[in-house]
Amino acid sequence: MEPTATVLVYSHDANTRQQVRLAIGRRPAADLPRVEILECATLPAVLTALEQGGVDACVLDGEAVPAGGMGVCRQIKDEIYRCPPVLLLIGRPQDAWLATWSRADATAALPVDPVALARSLAGLLRARLAPAVG
């Protein structure tokens, strides 16, 4: 069976989730395994999915309502053991400081730029999926 990577995509907006899904495609880069997308529209769904484990990276919509991705990011970084890396979608370049506050591992702009999002996500997945050196 071919290995896969699971990416959680959180947004209240189905259109944003679709844009992210299309940007990622089957795999964000040729050297990575196929990606399975786990879509979540609410904070409780995100928390449940992360508590179950098996998520390799998260893409969170910073503009989501009522629970914005920045607050969600900070919460999961505090509460989830070995929290997967987070790519935060931000609406304005001025929001970069909030992404830092939220402890996001990377940011990408809204509206979704497919090439930039795939590149950023690929970097996070490479780091997460690299064999542990010990």
The pLDDT value recorded for residue 133 is 45
pLDDT in tens, 70-117: 999 999 999 999 999 999 999 998 888 899 999 999 999 999 999 999
Supply the pTM of this predicted model: 0.95
For the domain made up of 4-32+42-129, give the CATH fold: Rossmann fold (3.40.50)
Domain definitions of the chain by residue range: 4-32+42-129
Residue spans of alpha helices (H) in 8-113: 14-24, 43-52, 69-79, 96-102
Per-residue pLDDT band for 2 (boundaries 50, 70, 90) equals confident
